[in-house]
Amino acid sequence: MQTCASSPCSTDTTDTRSFLDRVIVRDEIDRYYQDGRDFIDDDRIERDLKAAVNPDPSRVRDILAKSLAIETLLPEETAVLLQVTDPGLRQEMETAALAIKHKVYDNRIVTFAPMYISSHCVNRCLYCGFRADNRQQQRRQLTLDEIKAEAAAMCGRDGHKRVMAVYGEHPKTNAAFIAESLQAIYSVEVPTRRGRAAVRRINVNAAPMSIADLKTVQQAGIGTFQVFQETYHHPTYARVHPAGTIKGDYGWRLTSMHRAFDAGIDDVGLGALFGLADWKFEVMGLVTHARELERYSGVGPHTFSVPRLHPASGSEISRHTLSPFSDDDFIRAVTVLRLSVPYTGLIVTARETKELRERCLDLGCTQMDASTRIGVGAYAAASVDQEIDKQQFLLGDNRTLEELIVDLARRGTITSFCTAGYRCGRTGGCIMDMLKTGKEGKFCKINAVLTFREWLDDFASPASLAVCEPVLNRELAAIEAQMPAFYPTVKAQYDRIVAGERDLYF
């Protein structure tokens, strides 16, 4: 069993070199290359972007029609959308992005919160407060009991059902530990006002792993496996990830999702850390990566994340981005991603401000975190203050889950706590087909209603109920109108939840 390891520096006694040699399996990179090269061709991306400058409006509209048909765009088509500056055309793109979101995901938002399990890390990413040579960082790794306490606080106090477990890369947080920590989270169940609460889906954001290690994690019951490439631009990647570190190996990271598929994980999340290289290049990289996964496994990414560089302890470049990325660029990036890979979920985290996140709801964002604390052990801790030397970076939106839910309800948006997908085998190719044909939107509407009822009964204040119930009732009425034959079955489940039963889903 893991014991608590709290120390000012994580790597003093670690033989990083031998760890590096053990972690990276060269054959598990090379087998995914073609002619000895990875699938990101920097010159090609730059050529596509250059060729697309000043796009013809009719070409832009043809591409939008393809997006609206829920087809993944070609990189050169994404390049065209990225070069649109005309305000009228931008408005048409934003309208199409929202229409796609409604077609694929209806009007629901999925919420989650990250659980930081360890800040020990052997890497030295220049932008991150956890990097090994940052002596200011106060390191901590949760014990299994502390992990359970975090889970209890997240599901029992805030009402979260979905957790994103986050780990630094270190021998102490190897695959066996990650699997144990997931089991610890799933084992927690706490009583609530009207029922009981538990974390029902754990997504994992961790370093790339070998196929054998990924199988170990998969068996513990993983939702989405996330690895962000940080930057697809090879020279920038080399600049911010020092050579000789595990993360310094671009190919090991780029092929992590190919290995995930080969390990049986067909639900994966991609992301780039915006602010390192040209943002248009990163969007091109993400779309190219999505297409490559479609080619390799027939299944694209479940989610895109768009983390943006935020101030981190002891990191100079986190305060002065290497490449400008304004709020307006953020809006353009989110819009083009929604249009380019229409079936993919889009996560905009609490790194961003409330205002910008609300703007992204109109562009096709599908997932948001709330009540977010990114210190290790921060949910069970008494203080909610952000302390830069005890966490990875600083947050921009500190709303509680209840505050977010009420704000969403005021916009007519329902919050979904549905975790049925991976538990019913609706993942990978199955869910992709359902998303592309719009079936998943209808399916999830039902589970959104059931899980929202559950959350309202267990956690909402009377004031929040007053705002949220009309939204819930409207959704219930929509189900009755759209699926009259099935409605009595839905209503029967709904009534069981009202009576205190929990975790019912279709």
Binding site for ligand SF4 (CB under 6 A): 121, 123, 125, 128, 130-131, 168-169, 207, 247
Distance in angstroms (rounded) separating the CA atoms of residues 454 and 459: 9
Q: Indicate which of ligand SF4, ligand SAM, none lies near residue 414 (CB less than 5 to 8 Å, by partner kind).
A: none
Nearer to ligand SF4, 72 or 315 (CB): 315
Q: Which residues bind ligand SAM (CB under 6 A)?
A: 127-128, 130, 166, 168-169, 205-207, 227-228, 230, 273, 307, 309-310, 312, 318, 351, 392-393
Q: Judge whether 245 and 20 are in contact, CB under 8 Å.
A: yes
Backbone angles phi, psi at 347, to 5 degrees: -105, 125
Q: Indicate which of ligand SF4, ligand SAM, none lies near residue 306 (CB less than 5 to 8 Å, by partner kind).
A: none
Contacts of 135 (CB under 8 A, 6+ apart): 8, 9, 314
Q: 423-443 burial, b if ≥16 CB within 10 A, otherwise e?
A: eeebbbeebbebbbebebbbb
| Least distance (Å) between residue 234 CB and ligand SAM | 17
Q: Judge whether 231 and 249 are in contact, CB under 8 Å.
A: no
Q: Which residue has the tokens 């009822």?
A: 453
| Least distance (Å) between residue 270 CB and ligand SAM | 11
| Least distance (Å) between residue 59 CB and ligand SF4 | 38
Q: Which amino acid is at 434?
A: M
Is residue 318 packed enough to be buried (19+ CB in 10 Å), middle (13-18) or exposed (0-12)? Answer: buried
Q: Count H helices and E strands in the chain, helices first.
A: 21, 11
DSSP 157: I
Q: Indicate which of ligand SAM, ligand SF4, none lies near residue 228 (CB less than 5 to 8 Å, by partner kind).
A: ligand SAM
Nearer to ligand SF4, 249 or 458 (CB): 249
Q: Which amino acid is at 124?
A: R
Nearer to ligand SAM, 169 or 267 (CB): 169
| Least distance (Å) between residue 128 CB and ligand SAM | 4
Distance in angstroms (rounded) separating the CA atoms of residues 288 and 243: 25
Nearer to ligand SF4, 181 or 447 (CB): 181
Q: Indicate which of ligand SF4, ligand SAM, none lies near residue 259 (CB less than 5 to 8 Å, by partner kind).
A: none
Dig out the tokens for 262 from the structure.
């080969």
Q: Judge whether 210 and 259 are in contact, CB under 8 Å.
A: yes
Nearer to ligand SF4, 64 or 132 (CB): 132
Q: Indicate which of ligand SAM, ligand SF4, none lies near residue 390 (CB less than 5 to 8 Å, by partner kind).
A: none
| Least distance (Å) between residue 173 CB and ligand SAM | 9
Is residue 468 packed enough to be buried (19+ CB in 10 Å), middle (13-18) or exposed (0-12)? Answer: buried
Q: Judge whether 237 and 231 are in contact, CB under 8 Å.
A: yes
Nearer to ligand SF4, 78 or 315 (CB): 315
Nearer to ligand SAM, 135 or 295 (CB): 135
Q: Indicate which of ligand SF4, ligand SAM, none lies near residue 225 (CB less than 5 to 8 Å, by partner kind).
A: none
Q: Indicate which of ligand SF4, ligand SAM, none lies near residue 273 (CB less than 5 to 8 Å, by partner kind).
A: ligand SAM
Backbone angles phi, psi at 135, to 5 degrees: -70, -15
* Per-residue CA distances from 369 to 46, 101, 467, 491 (Å): 33, 18, 20, 29
Dig out the tokens for 188 from the structure.
């927690």
Nearer to ligand SAM, 230 or 457 (CB): 230
Nearer to ligand SAM, 55 or 208 (CB): 208
DSSP 308: B
| Least distance (Å) between residue 284 CB and ligand SF4 | 22
Cβ neighbours, 10 Å, residue 264: 12
| Least distance (Å) between residue 128 CB and ligand SF4 | 3
Q: Indicate which of ligand SF4, ligand SAM, none lies near residue 227 (CB less than 5 to 8 Å, by partner kind).
A: ligand SAM
Nearer to ligand SF4, 192 or 205 (CB): 205
| Least distance (Å) between residue 396 CB and ligand SAM | 10
Nearer to ligand SF4, 168 or 285 (CB): 168
Q: Indicate which of ligand SF4, ligand SAM, none lies near residue 134 (CB less than 5 to 8 Å, by partner kind).
A: none
Spatial CA neighbour of 168 closest among 112, 224, 125, 232: 125
| Least distance (Å) between residue 267 CB and ligand SF4 | 21
| Least distance (Å) between residue 229 CB and ligand SF4 | 12
Q: Indicate which of ligand SAM, ligand SF4, none lies near residue 445 (CB less than 5 to 8 Å, by partner kind).
A: none
Spatial CA neighbour of 441 closest among 458, 423, 418, 459: 418
Q: Judge whether 204 and 265 are in contact, CB under 8 Å.
A: no
Nearer to ligand SAM, 135 or 474 (CB): 135
Q: Indicate which of ligand SAM, ligand SF4, none lies near residue 131 (CB less than 5 to 8 Å, by partner kind).
A: ligand SF4
Distance in angstroms (rounded) separating the CA atoms of residues 201 and 54: 44
| Least distance (Å) between residue 9 CB and ligand SAM | 16
| Least distance (Å) between residue 282 CB and ligand SAM | 11
Strands (E) across 185-235 are located at 190-191, 196-197, 201-205, 225-226
Dig out the tokens for 144 from the structure.
């299994």
Q: What would the 3-class secondary structure string for 361-373 be?
A: HCCCCCEEECCCC
Q: Indicate which of ligand SAM, ligand SF4, none lies near residue 248 (CB less than 5 to 8 Å, by partner kind).
A: none
